[in-house]
Structure 1
Amino acid sequence: MNNFNLSEDDLMVSEFDELEHLKDDDVAFHYLNFALESGNYEEIILALGNIAKAKGIGMSELSRQTGLGRGSLYKTLSGKADIKLTTFLKILNVFNLQLNSSKVAMS
C-alpha cells in the first residue's frame, strides 16, 4: 500500500480560465474550429465573443476594425440577431483567421 503525505494544498485544483488561454492565436484557432465543427450556432457565436474578450477587443474596437456598427455587432455576438456571412468573415479577419471548408465523410 502506498502512503502519500499530501497536504490539503497539494490537492487544490486551480480554476481554469478559458479566456486566458484564448489569448494564444493557435488556441483561439482550434477553439473556433471546434465550435464550427459542432455546427451549433450558439457555440459559434459564443466562441467569437470569447475570442474577442480574450484578445481585449471590445465592441467599439471590433466596430472600428470591421467597419460595422457597434449595435449590430453587439446584437450578433449576444445571439439576438443572426450573423451575416460578411460580418462573420470580417470578424474572423480581425482575429487573423479565415474560413475554410473540408469534405465530410459520408456515413
Structure 2
Amino acid sequence: MSKKIVTRFDAADYLDSEEAMVAYLNAAMEEDDPDILLAAMADVAKAVGMSKLAKDAGIGRESLYKALKPGAQPRYQTIHKVMNALGMTLQAKPRSAVMQ
C-alpha cells in the first residue's frame, strides 16, 4: 500500500489573477457573515504578499494580520486602504441583481 500525501487547501494558491481575486471577494461579500469577507481578504492578501500589501496600504504588517483575522472588527478606513492597495473598490448594487 502506497502512502498518499494530502496537503491543506489554501485558497491563496488559486488566486493567481485579478479576475480570480475579484470573483472570490465578490462571492464573500454576498454572504451575510463579516468573518467570511475578512477570511477572503486575508486569502487575497496572502496571494499578493502580506508585507507588500501592508506597505502599499500604509499600515503595519502585524496590524494587517490583526485586521483580517476572524472576529476582528476593522475600521472602514482599514478596509478601504486594503482595497485601494489591491487596486479594487467596494461597490453597491441593487439586491435584485444579486437575487437573479
The CA deviation string for residues 41-82 of structure 1, in whole angstroms up to 9 with x for no partner, is 111000001011112x12x33321111233322211123531
Residue matched to 1:44? 37
Equivalent residue for 2:73, pick from 79, 82, 85:
82
Higher RCO (Cα < 8 Å, 6 or more apart) = 2
Q: Structure 2 unaligned segments of length 5 or more: list them.
A: 1-7
Q: Structure 1 unaligned segments of length 5 or more: list them.
A: 1-14
The CA deviation string for residues 84-104 of structure 1, in whole angstroms up to 9 with x for no partner, is 111111111121110110111
Equivalent residue for 1:71, pick from 49, 53, 62:
62
| Alignment pair present for 1:104 and 2:88 | no
- Superposed, 1:19-34 pairs within 5 Å as 19-34=12-27
* Alignment RMSD (CA, Å): 2.2
Give me the TM-score of the superposition, normalised by structure 2.
0.76
In the TM superposition, residue 17 of structure 1 has moved relative to its aligned partner by: 5.6
Structure 2 Cα separation of the partners of residues 26 and 104 of structure 1: 22
Q: Measured at CA, do residues 19 and 73 of structure 1 come closer, stay the same or move farther in structure 2, by a change above 3 Å?
A: closer
Q: Which structure would you say has the larger Rg?
A: 1
- SS of alignment partner, residue 23 of structure 1: coil
- SS of alignment partner, residue 38 of structure 1: coil
